Amino acid sequence: MENKIELKGFLMKILNGTAMGIVVGLIPNAILGEIFKALAPQAQIFQTIHTILLASQAATPLLVGIFIGYQFKLQPIETGLVGVATMIGSGLLVSTDGALIATGIGDLINTMITAAMAVYLLSLIRGKLGSLTMILSPVIVVLIVGTLSTLLLPYVKQITTAIGAIIQNFTDLQPLLMSILLSISFALIIVSPISTVAIAYAVGLEGLASGAANLGIASAAMTLVVGAMYVNKIGVPLSVFLGSMKMFMPNWLRYPIMNIPLIANAIVTGVVAYLFNIQGTTASAGFGFSGLVGPINALSFMEGSVAKNILILALVFFVIPFVSAYLIDKVCTKVLKLYDRDIFIYGQEK
C-alpha cells in the first residue's frame, strides 16, 4: 500500500475485510458449537473441542484486523499490527481480578474504527522509522491506536444502547405488531455492524419477543441465501446459511434497495412467529437458526408431540422463510424490477 490512502474504496476495504474475518472466525462455532456444548458433560474431549470452538470465535476481531490488512496489501508486520490493534479496540478482552477474560467478539463497530485508525497511522509512519521500524512501529501503533480505541469504546457502545432503547419500546406493543417490528429490526441488525446478541441482552428479550427476533434473523439468512445463490458459487450462500449474514454487510451498505426484500420477508416471519407462538430466552435471541440455537430453545417452550414440534420448527425456521424469500425475490427482480441480482455478488470492490 502506498503512503497516501485514497478515500475512494477505503470504507469498502474495511467492510470487506470485516466480512471475511467474521466468516472465518464464527463459522466453526456456528456449525459445531451447540453440538459439542451438549456433548461436553459426557467426555472431556468434547469439552476441549467446545473450548477450541469458542477460542476460534474469540479470535474474530484479530482475524478482522488481519483481513483488513490483507485488503490494503500491507506488509506482514503491518498486517499483524492491525490485527493486534483491532483485538484491543474491540473490547473483547476485559480485565477481571487481574486476568483478561474474553467476552463474545467485542464491539464490531469499534473494531472497524480501530482497524481504520491503524491502517491510517501505518500509512503515516511508513518509511520514516528507518532501521528501527520493527521495534518502533509496534510500540507506536499499539500505544496510540490501542489507547484511542479503548477510550472511544464506551461511546461507541452507546450506539448499541440507543438501538436497544428503541427496540425496548416494541416489546410494549400489541403482540402481533411487536413480533413484526422485532422481526424486521433483527433482520436488518444481523446484516449491520451491530451485534444482535448484544441488543438481545440489552433489551432482555424473552418469550415471543425472543422467538420473533430469531425468526427475523432466519428471514434475513434466507433472503441472502436466495439472492446469493444466483450470482455466487455455492460456498457463499452456504456460509450465509451457516450463520455469516454479516459477510453481506458491504453489499447492504452499498445497496440500500436490499432492505426491501429483507423487510418484506421479515414481515412474513414476524406474523409466523405470532401465529405459532415461537418463543425463546434472552440467551437464545440473536442467533436465528445458527447452530440450531433458536430452534432448540423454541422447542423447550412447546408442548405436545416432540416429533410434531420439530416439524413445526423446521417449517417456521427454514421452509417458510426460504419459500417466502424465493417468491419475494421473483416479485422484486422479475415483476417490479426493483433491482438486479448483481447486488448480491459477494466480494465486490467497486
Per-residue pLDDT reduced to its tens digit, 252-302: 999 999 999 999 999 999 999 999 999 998 878 888 998 888 999 899 999
DSSP 316: I
CA dist list (Å): 319 to 112, 219, 281, 315 = 35, 10, 23, 5
pLDDT, position 305? 95
Chain Cα centroid distance, residue 179: 21
- Three-point CA angle 342, 318, 244, nearest 5°: 50
405488531: which residue's cell? 177
Which residue type sits at 282?
Answer: T
Which residue type sits at 171?
Answer: T
CB 295 within 8 A of CB 195: no
Neighbours of 275 (CB within 10 A): 11
Q: Which of 208, 203, 207 is nearest to 189 (CA)?
A: 203
| Cell numbers that stand for 153 in this block | 469504546
Report, as an integer, the average pLDDT of 53-80: 93
**Cα separation, 271 vs 310, whole angstroms:** 19
Contacts of 57 (CB under 8 A, 6+ apart): 25, 26, 28, 29, 33, 104, 105
What are the φ and ψ backbone dihedral angles of 150, each rounded to 5 degrees?
-70, -40
Per-residue pLDDT reduced to its tens digit, 185-222: 999 999 998 889 888 877 889 999 999 999 999 999 99
pTM over 0.75? The answer is yes
Q: Over 60: is that where the pLDDT of 1 sits?
A: no
CB 145 within 8 A of CB 98: no
Per-residue pLDDT reduced to its tens digit, 77-131: 999 999 999 999 999 888 888 788 887 788 888 999 999 999 999 999 988 988 8
Which residue type sits at 347?
Answer: G
Partners of 207 in the β-ladder: 280
pLDDT, position 257? 97
Per-residue pLDDT reduced to its tens digit, 134-188: 899 999 999 999 999 999 999 998 988 899 889 989 988 999 999 999 999 999 9
pLDDT, position 132? 87
